[in-house]
Amino acid sequence: MLTIKQITENTEAVLRGLEKKHFKNAKETIDQVIALNNKRRSTQNELDKNLAEVNSLSRTIGQLMKEGKKEEAETARARVAELKEGNKELDAAMTQAATDMQNVLYTIPNIPYDEVPEGVGAEDNVVEKMGGMETELPKDALPHWELAKKYDLIDFDLGVKITGAGFPVYKGKGAQLQRALINFFLDEARKSGYTEIMPPTVVNAASGYGTGQLPDKEGQMYHCEVDDLYLIPTAEVPVTNIYRDVILEEKQLPIMNCAYTQCFRREAGSYGKDVRGLNRLHEFSKVELVRIDKPEHSKQSHQEMLNHVEGLLQKLELPYRILRLCGGDMSFTAALCFDFEVYSEAQKRWLEVSSVSNFDTYQANRLKCRYRNAEKKTELCHTLNGSALALPRIVAALLENNQTPEGIRIPKALVPYCGFDMID
């Protein structure tokens, strides 16, 4: 979340940033935060003043008794009792103001960097780069859901039987391809210096608030109500929360973690041809990169993460493009985000496979993730993450773009992981 210092010292810049993100009622919300902060501070000042008076009176009571000034001592005791009773009300008011302010802060998105383009939605995103191999398919090319059925790779109907729509069952070489991609992505991350984490796939509410998935504004999280736990939408949540309430040493930064997990998203209201097959699922596999860094190095870290994801797509021989997201299409928590999309030749459309984001101090402030600098002062870290990669649409593009009359060709980089070079 935004810091009070950001809001109070750079109010106009914050409002401009919120306008770029198309956040409604920004002025009213920021005014509310400032008012609650003023109330919290004034109450704190009054409480501190009263506590100082209590301490002073308490010291004098004994002296008054020694001097035989019993009546004055009793008057002082009565004043102490009165102040203590008033302090309970002040403390409750201060706590309530702080809680109310925190709850309002949770509703305010991150401020986009200056280099984020203006825009309302996906049509306003800027294509930064295009790359990869052009694909020529047979005239009778099939979409991946038909290929999955033809080669018995993925059973969507069986997933509906077992669970429901959006939970496919991978079979045979389809399952092997999934596992091959997971291992390939993890090995590539390890080669780039990432330490692998195997985290839980359920988290508590504190973790959800820490990375910004809670409050759940879009109804994306699966909630286990009895235990008040949440299925993770991405490994970003448990991995980043490793550093919640932690003070790191500057020499530890940047921290580089990666994790493979299953991910769960309700994707409420997702229907139609654009979500057919693997295009949008409720459960899917993903390898995530997470970095914790100091502010002056985070942009370099972001670029290194972008280079890593681009390298994966090049090795998979897929046509891709990199988009710089506009303010209106960025996530609630991101300050700067780039999306990677691969081209589905059979569907004639681009499929998002990765988002690589810099959150500046937004998540770190929620997490209280800090580091101790060379002057021994504590500062908020910057957090970053990115998919490297999400599997469903990668699998869709691999199946569709590599189909031949003889079968589906496996990219060279994956053959050692699959154990086969053709699905036939």
Q: Which residues, including other chains, have CB under 8 Å from residue 256's CB and lie 6 or more apart?
A: 192, 193, 194, 195, 289, 290, 291
CB-based burial label for 40 (10 Å; 0-12, 13-18, 19+): buried
Cβ–Cβ under 8 Å, residues 134 and 320: no
Cis ω before 143 (30° cut-off from 0): no
Distance from C-alpha of 236 to C-alpha of 291, rounded to nearest angstrom: 10
Beta-carbon count within 10 A of 99 CB: 12
Instruction: Return the SS3 of 126.
Output: strand
382's enclosing H/E stretch is: strand 382-390
Residue ranges of the annotated binding site for L-serine are 234, 265, 288, 385
Amino acid at 136: E
Point out the annotated binding site: 234, 265-267, 288, 352-355, 385
Residues 320 and 342: beta-carbon distance below 8 Å:
yes
Q: How many residues does the chain have?
A: 424
Cα angle 62-64-69, degrees, rounded to a multiple of 5: 140
Q: What are phi and psi for residue 395, nearest 5 degrees?
A: -60, -45
What is the torsional sign of CA 137, 141, 143, 144?
A: negative
CB atoms within 10 A of CB 23: 19
If we measure between CA atoms, which residue out of 300, 380, 324, 326 comes closest to residue 2?
Answer: 380
Residues annotated as binding site for ATP?
A: 265-267, 352-355
